[in-house]
Amino acid sequence: MKKSSFGTRQIVITAVLLAICIVSQYFKNLSVFITGPIINACLIIAVLSSGLVSGLILAIITPVTSYIIAASPVMMAVPWLVPFIMTGNAVLVLATNHFLRKDLQYGKGLRDIKSYVKAVICSGLKAFFMWITISMWLLPAYISEESPLFNKLPVFKTMFSATQFITACIGFVYAFIIWAALSRFLRKGE
């Protein structure tokens, strides 16, 4: 699990996680609370199982596939959201790599309360970045009072701040549950 190169195993894991993300995006219009946690869990598992590069690849690709598969009205109105969502995902990936990867290697640390506190901090960093860049700057700058989306601006602002925090936290719950079993399997494969 601590290999420095990005080899066949990392490519396969990244591809499987990307496929899960893409399938989940077909449910995006049902609820962001379905798709968001699944994508965040995949980002987290990518970092834990395959490293930083895998997580960053997913962080960059998933907003593009989301835009192609089920772009929301706000994404259609403000396509500049995509690079900021990519960066928000990258913040989650980088924070997970920095704060949690060593703690959770081989499934250790899953019973330690510090891991859960760190997960909340990682979720908060992603949400804070998206709140500052998207909710406070990008959306108000690009959705004018004449826009039919202007009345929904408070909803969009919440979607790119508090909702991001909640879906990232739920994603960590999913990731921790999956990682408890997956880390044993990956350890046997080494």
Q: For the chain, which residues make up each domain, given as ranges?
A: 8-188
Mean pLDDT, rounded, for 49-75: 94
Check residue 124 and give its pLDDT: 98
How sure is the predictor about 106, in pLDDT bands with cuts at 50, 70 and 90?
A: low
Name the percent of the chain lying above pLDDT 90: 78
Retrieve residue 189's tokens: 């494969």
Check residue 1 and give its pLDDT: 45
Check residue 190 and give its pLDDT: 57
Mean pLDDT, rounded, for 118-143: 97
Indicate the pTM of the whole model.
0.93
Check residue 168 and give its pLDDT: 98
Amino acid at 175: A
- Cα atoms found within 13 Å of the Cα of residue 121, Cβ hemisphere only: 13
Mean pLDDT, rounded, for 67-96: 94
The residues, any chain, with a CB within 8 Å of residue 181's CB and separated by 6 or more, are none
Check residue 182 and give its pLDDT: 86
Q: How many CB atoms lie within 10 A of CB 158?
A: 13
Instruction: Indicate whether 42 pLDDT > 80.
Output: yes
Instruction: Indicate whether 74 pLDDT > 70.
Output: yes
Query: In CATH, what is the architecture of 8-188?
Result: Orthogonal Bundle (1.10)
Give dist(CA 140, CA 105) in Å, integer.
41
How sure is the predictor about 162, in pLDDT bands with cuts at 50, 70 and 90?
A: very high
